[in-house]
Amino acid sequence: MSSVAIQSRRSSRLKSLYLCLSLPQFQSIGMSWHPDHPAKNGIALITLLAPRSASAEAYRLLRTSISLMPVSQKHRVIALTSGGPGEGKSTTTLNLAVVLATQSKRVLLIDADLRKPTIAQRLKMSATDQPGLSRYLSDSSVLPEDCVQRVTEIPGLDVMPVQEIPPFPSELLSQGRLEELLVWARDHYDYVLIDTPPILLVTDALIIANYCDTLLVVARIGVAQRKGLFRIRHDLAKYPSKQTGIVVNALPFSDTYYSGYGNYRKYYGTGYGKESGDYYSSGYISPAKKKKQQ
């Protein structure tokens, strides 16, 4: 298990997470979306809607952390998971895919949550008869390229959705077809991101980890529990050769490195005006807030 530490934080909440997991920190994602942000209505990703926000910058820092891994370690196939639902693993996977694609990288995003897939819905992908990951895994006549759909709004990003929810996901993932798929993907893409089910609920994420270079655990402040994190640490110890790390989600900005730059933000604001303020805010005004302003 790698011991590469990317950032350090003074927050006791962060320290508690790191002590439980004993994993290197890859990035802290600040909490900037308002609760009534329409995240379920279309492609509502902060890296697209507010690319100059602090949260969007945090995803770019996550991208940088990945690119700075030792060259000797392969890290092109990256799986993301979480302890349980509601921690932001799918949101993190989507935003990471966006910032990688905007760097002129060829990115394949595989929705491997065969139980509760969300990627196609989040990207507003139209329903088609095109096969997805589920059929690829169950039908040897289906080719990987048959299951890939291009996201026209995000150049460089391709997606392999689930399409059909299978009756026995773990059994499908345990067959050799997944390994064959990732061999093909390595030849055609710079990065392959895999959205997996929560690691504490089902075995799917651990099965997928066998074929990945890197496994990132998304832990949301206020949701992740110590007992669960200790169990994750125990499970990941079975993969000593894998690069593993933690991405802390929904951290209040008062606990991030941005909190120490208040005076600098005011200073640069005198020269850059509104641009400086937009960079450090989400850039999004919720419907409720708009109503109050009217």
Residue 66: predicted pLDDT: 85
Do 45 and 283 form a contact (C-beta atoms < 8 A)?
no
**Could you tell me whether strands 243-251 and 107-111 are parallel, antiparallel, or unpaired per DSSP bridges?**
unpaired
Question: Does residue 6 form part of some domain?
Answer: no
**77 Cβ contact list (under 8 Å, min separation 6):** 182, 185, 186, 191, 192, 194, 211, 212, 213, 214
258 found inside a domain? yes
Neighbours of 128 (CB within 10 A): 11
pLDDT of residue 50: 86
In a domain, 7, yes or no: no
**Inside any domain, residue 1:** no
Whether 4 is in a domain gets the answer: no
Low-confidence ranges of the chain (pLDDT < 50): 1-12, 27, 30-41, 255-290
**5 in any annotated domain:** no
Specify the pTM: 0.78
Q: Residue 209 sits in which domain range?
A: 12-293
Ramachandran bin of 242, using left for φ above 0, alpha for ψ from -120 to 50, beta for the remaining angles: beta
Q: What is the C-alpha to C-alpha distance for residues 118 and 125, in angstroms, rounded to an integer?
A: 11
Q: Under a CB-based contact definition with an 8 Å cutoff, are residues 241 and 16 in contact?
A: no
Residue 3 placed within a domain: no
Residue 58 is predicted with a pLDDT of 87
Residue 263 lies in a domain: yes
Q: What is the pLDDT of residue 22?
A: 61
pLDDT for 222? 80
Q: Which pLDDT value is given to residue 122?
A: 92
Indicate the number of domains in the chain.
1
Cβ atoms of 248 and 110 within 8 Å: the answer is: no
CATH number, position 182? 3.40.50.300
